[in-house]
């Protein structure tokens, strides 16, 4: 199958001559000849179309660029799953046999023009239950002159997500497709992509291999460096949706608390509580800019109960109030529009808010899972949806929780779930059930990164401190990993994007990992970042490496000092979870 392009002297002459090179090499036959041969993978159709003078608009995770030329490639392949040695060490679950399952997968690549010879490959991931972020997800690679790829995971199309195909019939799960999302398809896409790039760019002997993704894409990133440690030189991993057995049912916690307490807060109350939290905690970092830079101090020094009795008032809104982007669960007929709202904050409103901050406790008072940081903007899971027929608010969560319980735990093709009679103890049972079923796949908490570290791999891990979808919490011992792993908590940022005005975001994160891997320049104390929205837009404001935390002393110049938090503030990041008798962070 694989003919090294060096076998074509005419092409070498053409590529060496630079200008006309793209049209010469961006052909399906040249690309087909560049494909590596991989055991278990059989290639089908290949398409290659040259794209000239392409502009990339700046995103949160890369700056803009213009004038890029690249080869736009799609490759179809089928694979047959086999037992392999890498999987062996994860084999701790009972699950359907994977042997002989054949899946057809499509992978997509942008290869920068030979004129800009690349020696990098960037793998990308998805979000929610998607394994890619669409073709626009490839644009970050062009900015950094990297060949870049994504996969459809074998789900049938680029826009099909796992939950569209997971349950072919009630009672049956497409476990092979689940494995594709869990870790296999991105690994294969990367193996094909780096092999192809090495052959396509004939003068490159070493292709550095990178990964970038956030949310589910962050979990996918961890799945790669955990399982295929020698394959990646560097990974930028944002807000990983790992520990899925906890993360997904936890989306129901606010609704469970509200149903049990018999009180559903409206969007205006939640906005008021968010505003009061920001007012009270903004300056704890030494700088009054509307951004809570120290949610740990906020957690220690502020309690939303101080808002009880204060009044709120909001105009009518036509906007969407149900978070998570997936509509209400367990009911239909609610609407995103809300009437004008006013009233005063009560103890019940505060209980709903504090439940979000504290996370779930079971009926014996034991802590089940972590909560969100104060300063999160709340809307995703806590505010109710408005029923315009009854003029009341009802509890409504992101659809991910319902999909998890129905599809992933019970193999039923549904995402509706009644919360009637459901308590935190049901939540606990769901977590245990998911933990047993997905230890090896979607939990993605294998704690041993030795292969990755030994082969020189580096990780930049970031997480918005005001994330309202995946709680921001970590495990002790992070400081000891600094030679290959750095964690950055981003003040004021939400889920994979800026949230608070005037908060920084690490837009050049791909450049930062390239600097670390290729030039040995580590983000030792800070990660390069820029304020992307608000009055201070465009100002550089670096992000402190955890466990140090930002503090502005005296004149609040733009760069923070990165200080070591005191013991109490540090402990706020490591809550004790004593309900589930299993390790949350790694395999028990």
Ligand X SMILES: *[C@@H]1O[C@H](CO)[C@@H](O)[C@H](O)[C@H]1NC(C)=O
Contact residue for ligand X among 29, 83, 92, 418 (CB under 6 A) = 83
Contact residue for ligand X among 37, 390, 576, 581 (CB under 6 A) = 390
Query: In the numeric block, which tokens belong to residue 94?
Result: 């009972």
Query: In the numeric block, which tokens belong to residue 532?
Result: 């992307």
The torsion angles phi and psi of 108, rounded to 5 degrees, stand at -125, 140
User: Are residues 239 and 380 in contact, defined by beta-carbon separation less than 8 angstroms?
Assistant: no
User: Are residues 395 and 260 in contact, defined by beta-carbon separation less than 8 angstroms?
Assistant: no
| Cα torsion angle, 510, 515, 516, 522, sign | negative
Q: Does 410 bind ligand X (CB under 6 A)?
A: no
Which residues, in sequence order, are CB contacts of 421 under 8 Å at separation 6+? none
- CB of 330 vs ligand X, minimal distance in Å: 8
Cβ distance to ligand X smaller for residue 559 or 583: 559
- Tell me how many residues contact ligand X (CB under 6 A): 49
Cβ distance to ligand X smaller for residue 38 or 412: 412
Residue range at the interface with ligand X (CB under 6 A); choices 207-215, 332-340, 421-429, 443-451:
332-340
User: Are residues 16 and 117 in contact, defined by beta-carbon separation less than 8 angstroms?
Assistant: no
Cβ distance to ligand X smaller for residue 203 or 583: 203
Residue range at the interface with ligand X (CB under 6 A); choices 29-37, 207-215, 334-342, 477-485:
334-342
Contact residue for ligand X among 89, 525, 540, 553 (CB under 6 A) = 540
Residue range at the interface with ligand X (CB under 6 A); choices 32-40, 147-155, 307-315, 565-573:
307-315
At which residue do the structure tokens 């790669």 appear? 224
Q: Does 271 bind ligand X (CB under 6 A)?
A: yes
Contact residue for ligand X among 60, 204, 335, 346 (CB under 6 A) = 204
Q: Which of 186, 188, 192, 249 is nearest to 219 (CA)?
A: 186
Cβ distance to ligand X smaller for residue 7 or 169: 169
- CB of 189 vs ligand X, minimal distance in Å: 14
DSSP 342-376: EEE--HHHHHHHHHHHH--B-TTS-B-S--PPBTB
Q: Does 272 bind ligand X (CB under 6 A)?
A: yes
Residue 562, H or E segment: strand 561-563
d(CA 140, CA 144): 7
Q: Does 45 bind ligand X (CB under 6 A)?
A: no
Contact residue for ligand X among 3, 65, 331, 522 (CB under 6 A) = 331
Q: Does 576 bind ligand X (CB under 6 A)?
A: no
Q: Does 305 bind ligand X (CB under 6 A)?
A: yes
Other CB atoms closer than 10 Å to residue 483's CB: what's the count?
A: 9
Residues 51-70 that bind ligand X (CB under 6 A): 51, 53, 55, 66-67
Residue range at the interface with ligand X (CB under 6 A); choices 92-100, 122-130, 182-190, 258-266:
92-100
The torsion angles phi and psi of 212, rounded to 5 degrees, stand at -140, 130
Strand partners, 11: none
Q: Does 387 bind ligand X (CB under 6 A)?
A: yes
d(CA 88, CA 96): 15
Contact residue for ligand X among 199, 295, 530, 547 (CB under 6 A) = 530
Which ranges of 3-88 would DSSP assign to H, the alpha helix?
A: 9-16, 21-25, 28-34, 85-88
Cβ distance to ligand X smaller for residue 318 or 332: 332
Residues 342-371 that bind ligand X (CB under 6 A): 342, 354
d(CA 190, CA 209): 8
- CA distances 271 to 5, 279, 310, Å, are 60, 12, 13
- Residue 35 is classified by DSSP as P
> Catalytic residue numbers?
215, 467, 495
Residues 95-114 that bind ligand X (CB under 6 A): 97, 99-100
- CB of 204 vs ligand X, minimal distance in Å: 5
Cβ distance to ligand X smaller for residue 496 or 527: 527
User: Are residues 47 and 493 in contact, defined by beta-carbon separation less than 8 angstroms?
Assistant: no
Cβ distance to ligand X smaller for residue 170 or 454: 170
Q: Does 244 bind ligand X (CB under 6 A)?
A: no
Query: In the numeric block, which tokens belong to residue 454?
Result: 């030994």
Other CB atoms closer than 10 Å to residue 480's CB: what's the count?
A: 8
d(CA 190, CA 150): 8
What end-to-end distance do the CA atoms of the chain give, in Å?
Answer: 44
Contact residue for ligand X among 7, 555, 567, 576 (CB under 6 A) = 555
Residues 485-524 that bind ligand X (CB under 6 A): 508, 511-512, 515
- CA distances 110 to 16, 268, 335, Å, are 20, 45, 41
> What x-and-dash track marks residues 117-156 binding ligand X by CB under 6 A?
x-x---------------x---------------------
Binding residues for ligand X (CB under 6 A): 51, 53, 55, 66-67, 72, 74, 83, 97, 99-100, 117, 119, 135, 170, 203-204, 268, 271-272, 275, 303, 305, 312-314, 331-334, 340, 342, 354, 387, 389-390, 394, 412-414, 508, 511-512, 515, 528, 530, 540, 555, 557
């Amino acid at each position: 199958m694989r003919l090294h392009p060096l076998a074509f002297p005419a092409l070498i002459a053409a590529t060496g001559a630079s200008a006309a090179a793209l049209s010469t090499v961006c052909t399906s036959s040249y690309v087909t000849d560049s494909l590596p041969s991989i055991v278990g993978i059989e290639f089908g159709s290949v398409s290659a179309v040259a794209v000239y003078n392409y502009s990339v608009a700046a995103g949160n995770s890369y700056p803009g660029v213009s004038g890029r030329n690249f080869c736009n490639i799609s490759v179809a392949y089928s694979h047959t799953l086999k037992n392999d040695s890498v999987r062996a060490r994860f084999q701790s679950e009972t699950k359907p046999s994977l042997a002989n399952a054949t899946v057809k997968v499509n992978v997509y690549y942008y290869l920068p023009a030979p004129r800009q010879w690349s020696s990098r490959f960037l793998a990308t991931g998805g979000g929610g239950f998607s394994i890619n972020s669409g073709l626009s997800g490839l644009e970050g690679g062009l900015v950094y002159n990297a060949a870049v790829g994504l996969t459809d995971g074998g789900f049938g199309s680029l826009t099909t997500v796992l939950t569209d195909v997971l349950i072919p019939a009630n009672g049956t799960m497409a476990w092979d497709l689940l494995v594709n999302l869990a870790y296999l398809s991105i690994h294969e896409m990367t193996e094909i992509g780096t092999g192809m790039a090495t052959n396509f760019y004939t003068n490159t002997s070493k292709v550095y291999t990178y990964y970038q993704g956030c949310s589910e894409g962050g979990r996918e990133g961890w799945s790669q460096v955990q399982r295929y440690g020698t394959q990646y030189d560097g990974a930028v991993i944002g807000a990983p949706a790992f520990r899925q057995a906890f993360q997904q049912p936890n989306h129901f916690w606010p609704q469970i608390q509200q149903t049990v307490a018999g009180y559903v807060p409206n969007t205006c109350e939640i906005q008021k509580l968010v505003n009061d939290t920001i007012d009270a905690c903004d300056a704890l970092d030494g700088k009054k800019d509307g951004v809570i830079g120290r949610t740990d101090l906020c957690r220690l020094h502020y309690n939303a109960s101080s808002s009880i009795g204060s009044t709120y008032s909001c105009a009518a809104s036509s906007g969407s109030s149900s978070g998570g982007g997936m509509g209400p669960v367990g009911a239909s007929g609610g609407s995103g529009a809300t009437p004008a709202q006013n009233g005063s904050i009560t103890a019940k409103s505060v209980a709903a808010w504090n439940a979000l901050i504290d996370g779930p406790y079971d009926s014996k008072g034991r802590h089940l899972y972590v909560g969100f940081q104060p300063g999160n903007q709340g809307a995703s899971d806590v505010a109710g949806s408005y029923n315009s027929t009854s003029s009341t608010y009802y509890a409504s969560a992101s659809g991910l929780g319902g999909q998890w319980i129905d599809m992933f735990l019970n193999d039923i093709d549904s995402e509706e779930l009644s919360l009637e009679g459901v308590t935190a103890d049901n939540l606990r049972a769901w977590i245990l059930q998911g933990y047993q079923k997905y230890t090896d796949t979607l939990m993605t908490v294998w704690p041993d990164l030795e292969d990755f570290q030994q082969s020189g791999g580096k990780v930049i891990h970031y997480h918005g401190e005001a994330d309202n979808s995946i709680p921001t919490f970590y495990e002790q011992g992070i400081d000891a990993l600094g030679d290959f792993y750095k964690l950055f908590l981003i003040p004021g940022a939400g889920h994979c994007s800026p949230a608070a005005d005037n908060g920084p975001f690490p837009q050049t994160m791909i450049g930062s990992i390239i600097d670390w891997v290729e030039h040995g320049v580590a983000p030792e104390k800070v990660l390069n970042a820029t304020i992307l929205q608000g009055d201070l837009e465009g100002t550089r404001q670096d992000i402190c490496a955890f466990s140090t935390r930002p503090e502005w002393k005296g004149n609040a110049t733009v760069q923070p000092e990165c200080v070591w938090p005191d013991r109490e503030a540090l402990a706020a990041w490591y809550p004790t979870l004593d309900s589930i008798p299993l390790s949350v962070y790694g395999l028990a």
